[in-house]
Chain A
Amino acid sequence: MNAGNSIEPKVFIFGDSHSTALAKGKEKACTEDSACAFCDWKVVYVDNGNVVDHLGIELKDGQALLNPILDRLLAENLKIIDRYSRRNMLAGQAHELVLLFGYVEMHRMCFNPRWAKRAILGVETEPSGAALPPEMIYELLRHRLKSYGRGVSLLKDLGFKVSLLAGPPPVPDVEFIRDKLPKFKAIMKTRSRLAFFEALNKAMDSIARDTGVPLRNYMDTTTDADGYLLQEYWGDGIHGNAAYGKKILECLYADLNRT
Chain B
Amino acid sequence: MVNPAVSSPFKISRTDKIATGGSCFAQHIARRLKASGYTYLVTEDVPTDVPPDIAMRYNYGVFSARYGNIYTARQLLQLLRRVQGLWEAEEPYWRDRDRWIDPFRPFIQPRGFASERELNEDRRQHYSAVLEMFRTADVFVFTLGLTEAWRSRVDGAVFPGCPGCNAGSFDPERYEFYNADYRDVLSDMRAFIREIRKLNPTLKFIITVSPVPLTATASGEHVLSATTYSKSVLRAVAGKLDQEIENLVYFPSYEIITSQSNRGRYFGADLRTIEDLGVDHVMGAFFEHLCDTESVNLLSHRAESEDLAFNSSVALVCDEERLIAQ
Contact = CB atoms under 8 A, between A and B. Distances in A.
Contact of B110 (A112, A135, A140): A135
A118 B47 contact: yes
B273 interface: no
Contacts of A118: 47
A114 B58 contact: no
A140 B51 contact: yes
A132 B46 CA distance: 8
A143 B58 CA distance: 14
Contacts of B54: 136, 139-140, 143
A96 B39 CA distance: 54
Interface in A79-118: 112, 114-115, 118
Given A131-B125, A140-B54, A122 B48 contact: no
Given A129-B128, A133-B109, A115 B47 contact: yes
Given A136-B58, A139-B57, A128 B125 contact: yes
B118 interface: yes
A32 B88 CA distance: 67
A135 B111 CA distance: 10
A136 B110 CA distance: 9
B124 interface: yes
Interface in B22-64: 46-51, 54, 57-58
A135 B109 contact: yes
A134 interface: yes
A114 B122 contact: no
A181 interface: no
A130 interface: yes
B129 A129 contact: yes
Contacts of A134: 114, 118
A136 B109 contact: yes
In this complex, the member of A122, A124, A131 whose beta carbon has the largest number of chain B beta carbons within 10 angstroms is A122
A78 interface: no
A132 B110 CA distance: 13
A213 interface: no
B109 to A, nearest CB: 6
B59 to A, nearest CB: 10
B158 to A, nearest CB: 25
A64 interface: no
Contacts, number: 53
Nearest to A144: B51
Contact of A131 (B50, B111, B114, B121): B121
In this complex, the member of B47, B58, B110, B111 whose beta carbon has the largest number of chain A beta carbons within 10 angstroms is B47
A179 B124 CA distance: 35
A117 to B, nearest CB: 10
Given A114-B48, A118-B47, A133 B118 contact: yes
B110 A127 contact: no
Contacts of A115: 47
B150 to A, nearest CB: 26
Interface in A15-35: none
B312 interface: no
A121 B114 CA distance: 10
Nearest to B118: A122
Interface in B114-132: 114-115, 117-118, 121-122, 124-125, 128-129
A135 B109 CA distance: 9
A151 B114 CA distance: 32
Contacts of B109: 133, 135-136
Contacts of B125: 127-131
B310 to A, nearest CB: 16
Interface in A123-179: 124, 127-136, 139-140, 143
A242 B51 CA distance: 37
Nearest to A108: B49
A147 to B, nearest CB: 13
Contacts of B129: 129
Contacts of A143: 51, 54
Nearest to A117: B47
A129 B132 CA distance: 11
A136 B50 CA distance: 10
A122 B51 contact: no
A114 B47 CA distance: 6
A122 B49 contact: no
Nearest 9 pairs between A and B by C-beta?
Answer: A122-B118, A114-B47, A121-B118, A136-B58, A121-B121, A129-B125, A121-B122, A139-B54, A122-B117
25 contacts: A112-B47, A114-B47, A114-B48, A121-B118, A121-B121, A121-B122, A122-B114, A122-B118, A122-B121, A127-B124, A127-B125, A128-B125, A129-B129, A131-B122, A131-B125, A132-B46, A133-B113, A133-B118, A135-B110, A135-B114, A136-B46, A136-B50, A136-B58, A136-B109, A139-B54
Interface of B: 46-51, 54, 57-58, 109-111, 113-115, 117-118, 121-122, 124-125, 128-129
